Structure 1
Amino acid sequence: MEIPWSKPYWGQAEMAPRPRSKSRQGWPPYLYPNRDGYKYRHPVTRKETWMGTDKAKAFAAAKKLNALLMPTNNLVDRVVGSKETVADAIAVFRQDDVPARGWAPKTAEVYESVIRRIEAGLGKRAVEGVTVKDCAEFIRGVTPSDRARQQFRLVLGWIMACAVQEGWIDANPVHATRRFTHERKRTRLTKEIYDAIWAKAEPWLRLAMDLSLVTLLRREDIVSLKFADVRDGFLWVVPQKTEGTSLVKLKIKVGEQLAILLSQARDSVVSPFVVHRLPDRARPSDKRATARVHHTQVLPEQLTRAFQDARDAAGVGGDSPPSFHEIRSLGGALVRDAGWTTEEVQALMGHASKSMTEHYLDGHDAPWTEVSPPPVLGTRQPN
C-alpha cells in the first residue's frame, strides 16, 4: 500500500558554505555577522540561530556545531577513518534480523520501503553522532501521518538496536523519542451494514463474507482455502500472516454453519478453491497473474475490490467505510456476545496476544439481539 509520505529534509544534500570574503577569512563555516553580533546557519536545514555578540563564544560554538553537523569535516575522522554509519546498521539489520522475522511478502515490501526511506535520510550519518533530536526530527519530517510516524519510529529503533548490539553505540536514541498514537478512522462493521453489503454482493463474494464471519479468517486465508483442507471433520488452516513466525496452526471444527457454507461452495464450477469464480474473459496462461495457479482462483485484491463495489452499491459506511478485514472483528464480537471467552476468540483469530484480540473486539460494545450458541452466526441457508 502506497502511503503519500513527504520527502524528509535529511534526504537533501548538505549545502556547501559560500566562499568567505576577505573580511571574514578565518571564520568558521556557516557563521555570519548579524547586526551587532553573529548568527549560525544550519548546514542542512538552513535555519538561522542568533549566537550573541561575543565573538569568541560565537566562534567556539560554531566550531563545535560544525564538528557535530558536518562529520566529514572532523579532523579526527580524517586520521582514524570513518565511523560506522546508519547505513552499516541497516546492512546488519537486513542480513541478520530480517530473515529471522519471517515476514509475509507484502509485509516485507512495506517494511523495505520504510528502510529505504531511512537509508536515504540518515544512511550517511555516523551512528555515534545520531542524537535523540536527530531521530525525532527525522520521524516528524518524514510524514504527517501519526500512524506512519510510529512505523518509522519502530523500524528506526530496530536498526539502531543493531548498532547497540554491535557495540558501536551504548544506547538507542530512538527509545527516548515520542510514541505516536492514532485513532481508528475506519467505521466498525455492524451486522446491519454487513447485511446491506451482502445483499448487493455476487454469490461468490457472499460465500467469502460468510466464511470469514464464521471462521474469523483473514482475506488472504479465505481465498486460499481449498476443499482438500477439509478432512476428518475439520478445516485445517495455517494463517499466511503467521506462517514462519508464530507457527499458528488452526484446526477449525466443521460445525453446522460451516458445513452449510462448504456445501454451497460445491457448485457447477470445477475448482480446487472453496471461494472461486469464472473469469470474465479467458486469458492465455502466460497472460495470467503470476500469483494465480488456477483460472477460477480469486486473488486477495479481487476480493477487496468486489467488497468495496458491493459496499458502495449498498450506500453504507459513511466517510470511513469498513473494509473486508472488519468482518473478522464483527465475527469475533458475535461469538463473544454468544458466550465465548476472549481467550477462545483469540485462539480462533490466531492472535499471539490477548491484547490484540481485545483491540479487534473494541468498538463492538453495543448490545446485540439474541443469537444461537456458537458457531451459529446468522449465515444464510441456500435458496
Structure 2
Amino acid sequence: MSPRKRSAGRQGWPDNLYPNKGGFKYRHPVTKRETFMGRDQAKAFAAAKKLNAMLLPGNDLVDKVIGSRETVADAIAVFRRDDVPGRNWAPKTAEVYESVIRRTEAGIGSRPVEEVTVKDCAEFIRGVTESDRARQQFRLVLGWIMACAVQEGWIDTNPVLATRRFQHERKRARLTKEAYSAIWEKAEPWLRLAMDLSLVTLLRREDVVSLKFSDVRDGFLWVVPQKTEGSTLVKLKIRIGDELSTLLAQARDTVLSPYVVHRLPDRARPSNKRAAARQHHTQVMPEQVTRAFLDAREAAGIKGDNPPSFHEIRSLGGALLSESGWAIEQVQGLMGHSSTSMTEHYLEGHDTPWQEVQTGSVLVR
C-alpha cells in the first residue's frame, strides 16, 4: 500500500515526523508512541531520518550496510524450535504458554532485540494485562525468549531479569472438612466417589477420572499423573490401604465400565458424536466433574467471591495427612511434587499442626 499523500506544507518531511505545538513530534512506527523532538527543524529532520532507518521494518538499504537485525520474533522462533520441545509441557500448559507467546509476538515481535530495554519490557508486561498473576506469567515467558537472544549472541544481557517480579496472593478459598462434608452430602454417587478418591490419593481431577480398574494390581494403584507425564516423569505406585480398598470396592457396581469413576450418560449418543477424548460411554470427563462439583457446592450453600473448587480437595487431603503425623516429604511423594516448597504451598491456609520435638544436651558448665 502506498503511503498517504503529504500536504503541500509537509512535502519533503521524513516519515513519522509531524508538527506539534510550534515544534515537531516523532511517532514510533511500531509502538505508535509519540515523542516531542523540539523546535529546531534541521535537528528534528535528522533525528527522524535516523530513527526511520533504525525502526522501519524491511529497510533493505540500511541492512545492506549494517546487516539484518534480529527481532523479538526471531528470538521467539528460536525459543519455539530449540526450547519448547524439551520442556514437555502438558497439553493445557502448552496451550496457555502458546497464548502468551503469541500475544508477546503481536505486541513487540517486530522490535530489534538489541533495542529492547528494561523499560520496554516493564511497559509491555504492565500494559498487556492488569492481573498480577498474568503479568508474572508474561514476565517469565519473555525472560525465556530474551534468554534465547542472549544464547544466540544477539545481545549481551537479558533485560527482563531486571524487571519487577509480580506477586499474587492465592484468592481461592481453602476447602474445610465441614465444607467437604456439606458438598459430599449434595453430590451424586459418582461425584462422591471422585471426591473421596481425590481426598485419599491426592490425585488431580484429570487423574481421578482417568483411573481404570486395570490400574489396580499387586496391592497397588499404578498412576502416571497427566500433568507430569513426559516432563518430571513422576510415576506413582500408591499402596492400597483400607480406605482406598473400600472405595475401589464401592466402585464395582452394576454398571459395566473399565473406569473406576463412571456414570451412565443421561442420553445415548452415537459414537461419532461423543466428545473426542471420550473412549467409553460411561467415562466421566474432567469438565463434568467441575460442573457437578459446582452444582453440589451451590446446593450446599457454600458461596463467596472465590469458593473452593474440586482441586482444593488435594490441598485438604494433604493437610489432613499432615495433621495425622505425615512428614512433609511423605505428602510431597503422594502429591507427586518435585519439591517440598510446592507441597508447602498447597498446605498453606490450613491449620499447621503442632509438632512434638525434644531438646538435646548442649549446655556447657
TM over 0.5: yes
Matched residue, 2:192: 206
Deviates more, 1:138-147 or 1:275-284: 138-147
Matched residue, 1:196: 182
Q: Are the equivalent residues in 2 in contact too, given 1:140–1:149 (CA < 8 A)?
A: yes
Q: Are the equivalent residues in 2 in contact too, given 1:71–1:126 (CA < 8 A)?
A: no
Following TM superposition, by how much is the alpha carbon of 1:55 offset from its aligned partner in structure 2, in angstroms? 4.6
Following TM superposition, by how much is the alpha carbon of 1:295 offset from its aligned partner in structure 2, in angstroms? 1.2
Alignment coverage as a number of residue pairs = 354
Tell me whether 1:336 sits opposite 2:322 in the alignment: yes
Matched residue, 1:245: 231
Tell me whether 1:138 sits opposite 2:124 in the alignment: yes
Matched residue, 1:8: none
Over the matched positions of the two proteins, sequence identity in percent amounts to 79
Q: What SS is found at the alignment partner of 2:295?
A: helix
Matched residue, 2:102: 116
Matches within 5 A, 1:208-223: 208-223=194-209
Partners of 2:8 and 2:77 lie apart in 1 by: 45
Q: What SS is found at the alignment partner of 2:26?
A: strand
Partners of 2:2 and 2:16 lie apart in 1 by: 9
Deviates more, 1:105-114 or 1:241-250: 105-114
Matched residue, 2:256: 270
TM-score after normalising by structure 1 = 0.85
Tell me whether 1:256 sits opposite 2:239 in the alignment: no
Matched residue, 2:93: 107
Partners of 1:89 and 1:47 lie apart in 2 by: 23
Partners of 2:110 and 2:274 lie apart in 1 by: 42
Q: What SS is found at the alignment partner of 2:255?
A: coil
Q: Are the equivalent residues in 1 in contact too, given 2:323–2:352 (CA < 8 A)?
A: no
Q: Are the equivalent residues in 1 in contact too, given 2:72–2:111 (CA < 8 A)?
A: yes
Cα deviation digits, residues 80-118 of structure 1 (max 9, x gap): 553222222222222221111111112212222222222
Following TM superposition, by how much is the alpha carbon of 1:123 offset from its aligned partner in structure 2, in angstroms? 2.5
Cα deviation digits, residues 308-341 of structure 1 (max 9, x gap): 1111111203121111001001111111111111
Q: CA RMSD in A?
A: 2.4
Tell me whether 1:151 sits opposite 2:137 in the alignment: yes
Partners of 1:215 and 1:194 lie apart in 2 by: 16
Tell me whether 1:98 sits opposite 2:123 in the alignment: no
Matched residue, 2:341: 355
Tell me whether 1:345 sits opposite 2:331 in the alignment: yes
Cα distance change of structure 1 residues 46 and 290 upon mapping to structure 2, 3 Å threshold = closer
Matches within 5 A, 1:1-383: 20-55=6-41, 57-73=43-59, 75-365=61-351
Unaligned runs of 5+ in 1: 1-14, 369-383
Following TM superposition, by how much is the alpha carbon of 1:153 offset from its aligned partner in structure 2, in angstroms? 1.6
Q: Are the equivalent residues in 1 in contact too, given 2:183–2:297 (CA < 8 A)?
A: yes
Following TM superposition, by how much is the alpha carbon of 1:39 offset from its aligned partner in structure 2, in angstroms? 3.4
Q: What SS is found at the alignment partner of 1:236?
A: strand
